[in-house]
Amino acid sequence: MATKLLLLLAIYRLIVIVGLTLDHPTDLIQTEIQLSFSLEDIYEASHDFGNMITTEPSGVLHPSSTHDVAKLVKLAYESPQGFPVSARGHGHSINGQAQTGNGVVVQMSGPRGLTPRPVVNEELMYVDVWGGELWIDVLNSTLMYGLAPRSWTDYLYLSVGGTLSNAGISGQAFNHGPQISNVHEIDVVTGKGDVVTCSDNQSSVLFHAVMGGLGQFGIITRARIALEPSPQRVRWIRVLYSNFSTFTHDQEYLISLHDRLSSQKFDYVEGFVIVDEGLINNWRSSFFSPSNPIKISSIAAGGNVLYCLEITKNYYQHSDRESIDQEVEALLNKLNYIPSSVFTTDLPYVDFLNRVHKAELKLRSKGLWDVPHPWLNLFVPKSRIDDFDKGVFKGILGNKTSGPILIYPVNKNKWDEDTSVVTPNEDMFYLVALLRSALQNGDEALTLERLSNENRQVLDFCKEQNIGVKQYLPHYTTQQEWMDHYGEKWPQIYKSKMEFDPRHILATGQKIFQPSFTSMMRSW
């Protein structure tokens, strides 16, 4: 009985929002849209990976086509009262960005068979994929043709539409640019319910707005992703540094090689910061051998912070191993890491790309995955990265953490300035990602309150020192903060919003634009 009452309440609430008069509530489902009101779907759409914010929608749509999405958005746009619509992929947002109250969540990622499968064009080297397709499934589809996308995120269980709505970056971005720099065209459902195919040359204003647009201008239902011949194997190397300037100098040197004629270069450049006391092997991977643990105290100098450079060399099954060895050795000889700290492994390309999933399974088995994740991702100008190190890594963070702290440089010339993404105004900038988990293990330093407070301290420090950081995967709660974030881009952001989503229907969880039908909305 309770379930039936909740179902009727959800249907009634949506009817009130839409402003329809029907003989029977279920007519809305039969004649307009095939919504789900199941408690399981509502619960799932109310939560995300961040585990910090919960917002309950009125219903959930499981689309099987672009037409299904367009029909829903058109209904929201044309109904007298209006209601918000938010696209959700794998639910990996942190601060409820894909949630919406008193509206409908479009669950783009779902069971195989409901949505179009990836279609690979082997000759032109691209793949057409559904917006809710997970990158792991894109990879598996293209590998059958010996091809793979060029740019990745560290975690492959994310949706294509989700990462393209942000940028999509990993250790290949310095060379190939973010994922949004590797898209030929997209199909988009705008906030008016229109379906538009757009690219750099066709409906380019919409295309550039949607790329990194945080879901504000349209829902991506198809993306055409550029491919390259896939390597079969990876030489994966990690080396340690105790001096930050030496560490960043080597990172910057390595990513500069791709702008030169040198044939010797690495294919992936990342790094992470180790502020914990004890073993350097943390949950990010089981890369370091348990049989050969290294104590930070045994090699760190001038403090308890170490820096790990993470690099790879891709190669093919038929490649000459001796030549690979020589090339890697020649590159390593130009770096100034701690000599005794070299760790190397050799593994299939797929295993390297999917490395974080293994860590996920390990954490799930320990009950440490579904916990709050107060993540903070920043783009830091190259000119101020030393100041950031002194104030944050050696200052605010202390000597305990509960997740990886990534740091690596990217080349700005690989980013399209016409997209909606905001980056520092320098030729090179760093991604700094505090990917920490809040734990209730009795350690006060790892609580949600403590980590959230540290994030605020980091942002306050950057503001006080005028470091000029920009948030990646940004989170703000007022429009003024968003205006400050976008800076010179704000007029174009506002203009595109008025053109493509004038009623502010889409992605209200980002809190950039307040819906025009606020009388029916819950308080922000």
Annotated active-site positions, please? 92, 154, 270
- The DSSP call for residue 113 is T
State whether the Cα torsion 455-461-462-463 is positive or negative. positive
User: Residues 450, 444: contact at Cβ < 8 Å?
Assistant: yes
Q: Are 405 and 275 in contact (CB under 8 A)?
A: yes
Distance CA 377, CA 280 (A): 22
Burial (Cβ within 10 Å: 0-12, 13-18, ≥19) of residue 123:
exposed
The neighbouring-strand residues paired with 210 are: none
Among 174, 177, 316, residue whose Cα is nearest residue 252: 174
Strand partners, 378: 432, 471
**What Å distances lie between residue 179 and 159, 175, 265, 312, CA to CA?**
12, 11, 21, 19
Angle, vertex CA 157, rays to CA 154 and CA 160, nearest 5:
90
d(CA 285, CA 438): 19
Report the alpha-carbon distance of residue 170 to residue 180 in Å, rounded: 12
